[in-house]
Amino acid sequence: MDLDTLQIYKSLRLPVLVISIFTIILYVYRSSRKERMEKPKFRMLEED
How confident is the model over 6-39, as pLDDT tens digits? 999 999 999 999 999 999 988 888 877 777 777 7
Name the band, by pLDDT with cuts 50, 70 and 90, for residue 48: low
- Domain count for the chain, please give it: 1
CA distance 26 to 23: 5
Q: Which domain holds residue 40?
A: 1-44
Q: What's the maximum distance between 2 C-alpha atoms anywhere in the chain?
A: 59
CA distance 44 to 15: 38
Residue of higher predicted confidence among 46 and 7: 7
Q: What is the pLDDT of residue 16?
A: 96
CA distance 12 to 33: 30
CA distance 29 to 5: 36
1 has a pLDDT exceeding 70: no
CA distance 25 to 27: 5
Q: What is the pLDDT of residue 20?
A: 97
Q: What is the pLDDT of residue 19?
A: 97
